[in-house]
Amino acid sequence: MSAGPARAGPARPAVPGRNPLRIGPVSGVWHPRTAAVCAALLLVSAVLMCLGATRGDFPLPLTDVLRVLGGGGEELDRVVVLELRLPRAAAGALVGFALGMAGAITQAVARNPLASPDLLGISAGAGAGAVTLIVLGGAAGPLALLGVPAAALVGALGAALLVYLLAWRDGIDGLRLALIGLAIAGLGTSLTTYLLLRANLTEATQATVWLTGSLNGRAWDSVLPLAVVVLAVLAAAPVFGPRLAALQLGYDTARSLGRRVQLGMALLVAAAVVLAAGATAAAGPVAFVALAAPQIALRLLGRAAPPPVTAGLTGAALVLAADLLARTALPVELPVGIVTAALGAPYLIHLLVAANRRSNA
């Protein structure tokens, strides 16, 4: 018997909706709408980055920003744009991209549109790590040398690892992972609250700002590590993309398609954790982006489970827009996390209501 249905007769009709894209041995499918949406999101993000670069203590007209980006401009403008404003914009874009992508992966693995990397304990772990350093590290101790982002990273990865190990029972199951994650997140939050109660005023203020999620004062040195993480995960996309597609059909189907379910789960959870932990280390826990970006991307694309890259681009545009709003809406500058939380909370309620209506229908 042949390896597949026999190839006989005249040219077979193409499969509607699956446009081939083939170069040599490389083959794939491209969706015109996905390509258009991604291009539009890139454009919106670029515009938002430029607009963001005009704002600050030293306002610059857009033309000057564009001149600097084109390689010209005056010396002072160059310093302001390239050393102060652009790192912040890049940090915003990367944080949004990483959170959106992590959210899309988590929602696909948990097979639940309300899932986010927070369910893996990332934000709570990062918060506990960062606040531990701020409160117990003091101004100069050996802990202080570690730096808040590194402490947040350690906290986030530690919490995620703990969740994964505790949820392991002959393998990982999406629901069990989420429940253990909630418990660990609760533990991390309690630890953070306890430390805040012990802290003095300066430490408590610093900790609270960090816990809100802010892009304020981000320089290139906090952008680069996150850029490396995002590029590494993107490079691994051919490895985890098909696994994600198989796991979306359920564990039994994934296995019958020749996928090792536990290996796939581990790879995908690791990708989501690294992305979310990297983003949180760079900007603090920016609320709701990981939850909302995949769902917005889904509606933009009008197809199942948005590709993580589209969700990432949506997240980038979302964070950049929120950061611009945070800096322009009020006379005082707000942390970006306040805006995403203010926008995200009603959205979460909308999702819950919609899900509830569907299950009652």
Partner 1 sequence: MIQPSSRLQADRLTLSYGGTEIVGGLSFEVPPGMITAVVGSNGCGKSTLLRGLARLLRPSAGAVLLDGKAIDRMPTREVARHLGLLPQAPSAPEGLTVGDLVARGRQPHQSWLRQWSPEDEDVVAQALCWTDMLDSADRRLEDLSGGQRQRAWISMALAQGTDLLLLDEPTTYLDLAHAVDVLDLVERLRDDHGRTVVMVLHDLNLAARYADVLVAMKDGRILAQGHPGDILTSELLFEVFGLSARLIEDPVSGRPLVVPLGGSRAARRPAPA
Beta strands in the chain (DSSP E): 19-23, 26-30
Q: Does 350 bind partner 1 (CB under 8 A)?
A: no
Q: Does 239 bind partner 1 (CB under 8 A)?
A: yes
User: What string of DSSP letters covers 12-50?
Assistant: PPPPTT-EEEEETTEEEEE-HHHHHHHHHHHHHHHHHHH
Of 176 and 255, the one with the shorter C-beta distance to partner 1 is: 255
CB neighbour class for 263 (10 Å; exposed up to 12, middle 13-18, buried from 19): exposed
Q: Does 111 bind partner 1 (CB under 8 A)?
A: yes
Q: Does 202 bind partner 1 (CB under 8 A)?
A: no
Name residue, tokens 């005082």: 332
Residue whose C-alpha is closest to residue 185's, from 210, 203, 158: 158
Pick from 165, 304, 332, 361: which binds partner 1 (CB under 8 A)?
304
Pick from 10, 27, 201, 331: which binds partner 1 (CB under 8 A)?
27
Name residue, tokens 């306040």: 338
Q: How are beta strands 26-30 and 19-23 bridged, if at all?
A: antiparallel
Q: Does 13 bind partner 1 (CB under 8 A)?
A: yes
CB of 97 to partner 1, least distance (A): 22
Q: Does 357 bind partner 1 (CB under 8 A)?
A: no
Binding residues for partner 1, rule CB under 8 A, total 45
Pick from 252, 332, 357, 360: which binds partner 1 (CB under 8 A)?
252
Q: Does 260 bind partner 1 (CB under 8 A)?
A: yes
Of 56 and 241, the one with the shorter C-beta distance to partner 1 is: 241
CB of 353 to partner 1, least distance (A): 17
Q: Does 101 bind partner 1 (CB under 8 A)?
A: no
DSSP 8-state code for residue 119: G
Of residues 135-154, which lie at the interface with partner 1 (CB under 8 A)?
Answer: none
Using CB under 8 A, which of the segments 144-152, 177-185, 208-216, 297-305 binds partner 1?
A: 297-305
Of 17 and 59, the one with the shorter C-beta distance to partner 1 is: 17
3-state SS, residue 11: coil
CB of 317 to partner 1, least distance (A): 21
User: What string of DSSP letters covers 129-167?
Assistant: HHHHHHHHSTTTSHHHHH-HHHHHHHHHHHHHHHHHHHH
d(C-alpha 333, C-alpha 340), whole Å: 14
Q: Does 133 bind partner 1 (CB under 8 A)?
A: no
Q: Does 17 bind partner 1 (CB under 8 A)?
A: yes
Q: How many residues are present in the chain?
A: 361
Report how far apart, in Å, the C-alpha atoms of 201 and of each of 67, 198, 285, 300 are.
Answer: 43, 10, 21, 45
Q: Does 231 bind partner 1 (CB under 8 A)?
A: no
Region of 11 on the Ramachandran plot (φ > 0 left; ψ -120 to 50 alpha; else beta): beta
Residue 9 backbone dihedrals phi, psi, to 5 degrees: 75, -165
Residue whose C-alpha is closest to residue 232's, from 135, 122, 333, 101: 101
d(C-alpha 36, C-alpha 317), whole Å: 15
Using CB under 8 A, which of the segments 58-66, 83-91, 258-266, 285-293 binds partner 1?
A: 258-266
Q: Does 3 bind partner 1 (CB under 8 A)?
A: yes
Q: Does 303 bind partner 1 (CB under 8 A)?
A: yes
Pick from 171, 259, 292, 334: which binds partner 1 (CB under 8 A)?
259
CB of 261 to partner 1, least distance (A): 9
Interface residues with partner 1 (CB under 8 A) are: 1-7, 12-18, 20-22, 25-29, 108, 111, 238-239, 242, 245-246, 248-250, 252-253, 255-260, 298, 302-305
